[in-house]
Structures are given as structure tokens and as C-alpha cells.
Structure 1
Amino acid sequence: MKELSIKPKIYTFDRCEEFINKFKIGKDDLIITSEHNYRAYFEKFNLHAHVIFIRKYGHGEPSDEMVEAIYKDIKDISYKRVVGIGGGSVLDVSKLFALKTISPIIDLFDHKLQFIKNKELILIPTTCGTGSEVTNISILELKSRHTKLGLAVDELYADYAIMIPELLKELPFGFFATSSIDALIHAIESSVSPKATSYTEMFSYKAMEMILKGYQEIEKYGRSARIPMLKNFLLASNYAGIAFGNAGCGAVHAMSYPLGGNYHVPHGESNYEMFTGVFKKYQALKPIGKITKLNGFLAKILGCKEDKVYMEIEKLLNVLIPKKPLHEYGVSEEELKEFTENVMTKQGRLMANNYTELTRETVYEIYKSLY
């Protein structure tokens, strides 16, 4: 049985300049990033690289339309390395441009194109959430299908994952909140996955501990308390990425995709919407198993009884993002059946990692409970 795989080489640098000097960034590189990150941290070094500002091609979650537009602009550019610098959206898009053939992007996600990686890939996160720098997954909103879909193939692994805490200094609290909640849910979901091993659990549980204890400091001392902990949150996100990159995420992510795809809710926020509903259902369906260890671990950190764990986590997360019922996003009750159908027919990759089996009726019940 495969226990653990970490494909990228992981480097940490205190400052961007150290990374630039080590990797000799220059004319053979394609940098995909945001204009803000480039102007604030990289422009002063006169890198002579090809630079793509992702927001020129659209706002919100990355989409098939966005990727096709970028491809149109760069298809005649010669480059040997792709350097993705940003949050999950930038990193997920950057992975695709290390492939030889990516268009039509719908065909790629439908596995109709051959996966050939012919460029070196360097990924540098600027948020503390997705863990995308160490996974082989790219997630896009497929606008023609009104949902998000993940592509997971080994050709999407980075060659290098670079951790630079300096890049998180100006991260607004809202982005910090949604991204770090995403990392927490990566850690929790992967800990109860059927694919979890003692190795992946080591990363899952350490990430949970670092994130939850950080949230407790924020609850106690306010939002600014996160600043000295940014490196810890960056590392916790990376640990969670290693864990879910091996063990996988399940129904929380699967059920969040229709909400994110249809109502453009940030990924971490849409995950939080589903999180406690899914885990309460897991608890009811299969109270003895990996969830027993999880609940005991969380109870110690939260200082509560095991049967109060999800209520207490919700209280703590509400300090960062107040949870809303689904109808407040504009979701209609009729759409819950469409959401359920989407999960059961389009998200099999994720649903295979559920702690226990969830039927179509059970998924609908969870949506109803959150409505």
C-alpha cells in the first residue's frame, strides 16, 4: 500500500530576492501572477521574464474561458519554465501551462487530450489555504456546465514548491480567513478519508492543530494577532496540501462546488458552508471509526466534549466568517435537487474519498439542513 508521496521539492525563503537569486529567474520564464503581487514584490528586480497578470482575463474563480484567453495570448511565446505566484486560482491555472497541449480546455478536463508536461513548474503560494503547490489538482469553473471540476493527473505536479512568508504580509483578512479555512477543511477531510495513512494523518493533524490554535489567538487578541503567525499558517496550508494530495478530500468539497460555481462564493467560504453539515451526518451514520480519533483530537484543542466539537468549531470559525444559510446566497429550494444531481454525477473523484457512503438522498438531506 502506498503510504505517502511528495513530488515537488519544497524550498523556504524569507524574502523573494533569495528565491530569484537561487532560481535565476529570467527571459526563459513565464510568470503568472496578479499585478499587485508583481508590482509589490518582483518588479524592482527587472527580471526580463514574460509576465501574465491573471486579472486581465477575468475576476473571481478561474474558469475555462479565462484559460483559453490566456492561451490565445501566449501560444506563440517561447518559455521553458512556468512560475505561478498567487493564491489557488493562479496556481491551478499555472499548472495547465506546463503542459504541451491544453486547448480546448474542456477536452483536457474530459481527458480527451494527451497529458504531456514539457515545461518545468515552480509554484509559490501567496495565501495560506489551497496547498495547491504540492498537489496534482487543477480546479476550474466550467462555465458551460455551471459547475467546478477538478483535473487530477501526475503531470500537474510542480517541480518546486516555494514558501516565502514575505508574500503574505499584505494579504487582506478576508482572503486570509477563506484560504486558511480551506486548509483546515483539507486537513480534516483527509484525516478521515479511506485513503488516509499514518503518514498523511501526521500532516493532517499537525495542520489542524496549527490552524485552530492560531484561530484561538485571533479570537482572543483580534485580527492583527495573525501577523506574527503567518509563517505558521503558510506551513499548515502546505502540510494540509500534502495530506489531501495523498488521501483526498470528500463530500465537503464535492458539495461546495455547485455553490461556488453558480454563486461565485469563495472556495473556503463555500467549504465552510458544507463542513459541519457533512461531518454531523458522518457522525450519525458511522460514529465509530476514524471520526472517533478526529473528534477526540479536536475536543482537546477546543476544550469541549467530543459531542460538542462541530458546534464549537462553528463558533470559532464564525469569528472569521459568519456562516449563512444557503438561501441567503440566493439559492432556491428547487436548486438543491440540481446541486445534489451535480454532486452525484460530476464529483465522483471526490465522493470516493468520503468517510462513509453518502447516497443521493443523504446529500439532499444535508443541503436541506443547511438551507
Structure 2
Amino acid sequence: MINTFSTANRIISGAGASGHILEEVNRIGATRVLFITDSFIENIGLIDKLSAGFKEAGISRETFSKVQPNPTVHNVEEGLRILIESKADMLIAVGGGSPIDAAKAIAIAINNKPPLSQYMGYQKIPKPGIPVIAIPTTAGTGSEVTKVTVISDTETDVKMMIFDDYLLPEVALIDYELTLTMPAALTAHVGIDTLTHGIEAYVSKKSCAMTDALALSCIRLVAENLEIAWNDLNNKTAREGMAMAACHGGMAFTNSSVCLIHGMSRPLGVQFHLPHGLSNAVLLPTVTKFSISGAAHKYAQIARAMGMAKNTDTDEAANLDLIIGLEALNRRLKVPRLRDCKGIEKAKFHEVLHKMADDALASGSPQNNPIVPSKDEIIKLYQEAW
């Protein structure tokens, strides 16, 4: 079997890695830069800090800071308008997965005809975009090293997954010091998002030896660092470990694919504006329990890698410990049940169950799951997670 592996062209990591931004802009040869971010990042002055020295180096910069959580087609269109007006030849994405995903979509939109929806799915983008430097400020999505962008279409209520090599950032600057401002709840949610990436990449039907190694590294790093980072937000060792976990998880899943959890997570984000990390976290134990018999040995290895089971335990015992352990992890990190998430009303939840199940299946991710569910099984899983 032939496997293909791809990731960001250049990855620079460690404390102060973001300080290499001017060097990388010059190396690529850009002279007009557009930052893509959200209002919080702009308001705390991070863009000004990162772009210090640009003017003296003859590089102009503008900022588009209206990216919202679960970025929309409108965000992309507005960012594209600013890109055209500014005549920028490079994008620099700063923030969590939302600004980075938006920047990827804006970068390819400049050279590819609308609508964006025609590129939903796998390898459908005909032309490359302009270069993107990705600077994550959360340790969660791994979007800085993936060929995936997820954009919400508010007209159809669909969270579109677009998967293409042309979406890979040119440079990822992974500076864990930028994650030190994350509050505890966000640390938990994006951390379990990272764990979900590692787990799904490892059990995916498209996994291979290279993605398995990265996925297991991601899983181990989360087990070693997430709760420490959550309990001590300024623990630099734990923050660095989680930044590396997110990177390894991103490299793994972008080459082996995510599975059912992500397929079910995206509709929750569209219908209830649930942050992506939280929607993955609330689904992780329930969907893992459903999927476990389809890849029993691999799930047992996950339990062992996380220290939830011993190497001498049988796969069956390890799998039971994994489910118990994931449920306990959510409780310790104060991850709510679906019914307790802000903005989810029971009546609407039941009203949109069929559409969410249809959209989950249409995304393509559930087809990579160890057990491929039916629509009725997805509806039942949503109800169990409630």
C-alpha cells in the first residue's frame, strides 16, 4: 500500500519561535502582508508586537481581525476583499484554529473562482493560493500543519471540510509562550481536541506507520501535560508539551484523516455555535465506546499510552479502562455534558438530529471510523451524549 505524507513546508518551534516572523517573511520574499486574526488577539496588541520591524524592513502590513469562532463563508469573503484591496502577497494567521482556517481559505480564494462550497471534500482546489505563515496561540487544532480548513456555510447550515495540499501553510511558527494566556476552560477543550486528533488519526482506516508514530506521540504528550497545564496555567513545560502534542496530532490526522467524532462535531458547531474543541470533548467518550470493537488492539494501545492500562492488561480490560478513563478525564477537566452546554436547547437539539446525522455522514469523516455508523446509529450517539 502506498502512503503519502505532507505537512507545512517549514516548522519552527520553541520559546520565542514567533520572533522569527520577519526572517521568514524576508526568506519567502513578501513585501505586503495581511494578518488574519480575531478581535481578541488584535486588542491585546499581539499583532503590533509580531509586526515590529516590518516598516523598517520595507514591508507593509494590514490586519483583518473579524474572524469569528467557527469561521464562516462571510468571514472568508470579507477577508478576501481586504486582501485584494491591500494587494498583499502573503497572509499571516495568528490565533486558534479559526483564524488559521480562515487564512487558508482566503489564501486559495484569491486564485480560485467562487463559490467556496465547490471545493468541499478532498483535493478539489485547482490552483495554489498565496503563502501563509501560521502562528497558533492555542494548543489544540494543529491547523498550522494541516491541509484542512473547516468553514461554515450559514446559508445551508453546513460546516464544510475542505482538504487539499494547497491549504498547507508555508511556515508554522509554534511558540508555546503564546499559549500562556489561555484560560482553564479553553485549555481543557482544545487539549481534548488535540487528544481526539491523536486518537482518531491512530484508529482511522487510512492510518499508516508514520501517522501511527505521530498519533501515539500526541496521545502520550496529552496524557503527560494536559492536566498539569490546566491546573497550572503558567507551567511552561506543560504548555510546550501541549503545543507539540497539537503539532504531532495535526500532522497525523491530516495524513490519515479524522473519523466519526469530527463528523458529528461539525454539525454541533453549526447548529449551536459550540466551539470545536468543546464539541469534540463532549463526544469523545460516547463515540469511542461505540467504535472500540472495530479496532480493539489499537484502542488498547491508546489506553496503555495514556497510562490508563498496564502493558500486561488484556486488550479487553484496557479498552474498558479507556472508556472509564476518558469519562473521568472529562469530569476532572469540567467538560460538560451536551445538555449542559450553553446555548443548546433540548427542543431544538431533537429537532435537528436528523439533519446533523445527515451532515455528519456527508462530511466523509465517519467513513474512516473503525466502525462505520448508519444514520440511525449517529442519532442514537447524539442522544447518548446528551
TM-score (norm 1): 0.88
Mapping 1:139-178, distance limit 5 Å: 139-178=150-189
Mapping 1:134-283, distance limit 5 Å: 134-217=145-228, 222-224=231-233, 226-283=235-292
Match of residue 19 from structure 2: 17
Count of matched residue positions in the alignment of Structure 1 and Structure 2? 364
Determine what percentage of the aligned residue pairs are the same residue: 21
Match of residue 78 from structure 1: 87
Give the Cα–Cα distance (whole angstroms) in 2 for the partners of residues 260 and 204 of structure 1.
Answer: 24
Match of residue 329 from structure 2: 316
Give the Cα–Cα distance (whole angstroms) in 1 for the partners of residues 372 and 21 of structure 2.
Answer: 45
Quote the offset at 1:255 in angstroms: 0.5
- Letter of the aligned partner of 2:331 in structure 1? N
Quote the offset at 1:70 in angstroms: 1.8
Unaligned runs of 5+ in 2: none
The verdict on how the C-alpha distance between 1:113 and 1:243 changes in structure 2, with shifts beyond 3 A counting, is closer
Give the conservation status (yes or no) of the 8 Å contact 1:26–1:49. Answer: no
- Letter of the aligned partner of 2:89 in structure 1? K
Give the Cα–Cα distance (whole angstroms) in 2 for the partners of residues 270 and 299 of structure 1.
Answer: 25
Alignment of 1:68 onto 2:69 = no
Quote the offset at 1:43 in angstroms: 4.7
Q: 1:27 aligns with which of 25, 28, 31?
A: 31
Unaligned runs of 5+ in 1: none
Moved more, 358-367 or 222-231: 222-231
Q: Deviations over 1:123-163 (max 9, x none)?
A: 12111011111111110111011121110111111222221
Quote the offset at 1:208 in angstroms: 0.8
Give the Cα–Cα distance (whole angstroms) in 2 for the partners of residues 114 and 225 of structure 1.
Answer: 41
Give the conservation status (yes or no) of the 8 Å contact 1:302–1:312. Answer: no
Mapping 1:39-58, distance limit 5 Å: 39=47, 41-47=49-55, 48-55=59-66
The verdict on how the C-alpha distance between 1:211 and 1:302 changes in structure 2, with shifts beyond 3 A counting, is farther
The verdict on how the C-alpha distance between 1:192 and 1:114 changes in structure 2, with shifts beyond 3 A counting, is closer
Match of residue 7 from structure 1: 7
Q: Deviations over 1:156-176 (max 9, x none)?
A: 112222212232232233322
- Letter of the aligned partner of 1:198 in structure 2? A
The verdict on how the C-alpha distance between 1:339 and 1:231 changes in structure 2, with shifts beyond 3 A counting, is same
Give the conservation status (yes or no) of the 8 Å contact 1:7–1:159. Answer: no
Quote the offset at 1:267 in angstroms: 0.4
Moved more, 132-141 or 46-55: 46-55
Give the conservation status (yes or no) of the 8 Å contact 1:96–1:102. Answer: no
The verdict on how the C-alpha distance between 1:80 and 1:46 changes in structure 2, with shifts beyond 3 A counting, is closer
- Letter of the aligned partner of 1:298 in structure 2? M
Match of residue 351 from structure 2: 334
Give the Cα–Cα distance (whole angstroms) in 1 for the partners of residues 265 and 168 of structure 2.
Answer: 24
Match of residue 358 from structure 1: 373
Give the Cα–Cα distance (whole angstroms) in 2 for the partners of residues 286 and 44 of structure 1.
Answer: 52
The verdict on how the C-alpha distance between 1:114 and 1:88 changes in structure 2, with shifts beyond 3 A counting, is closer
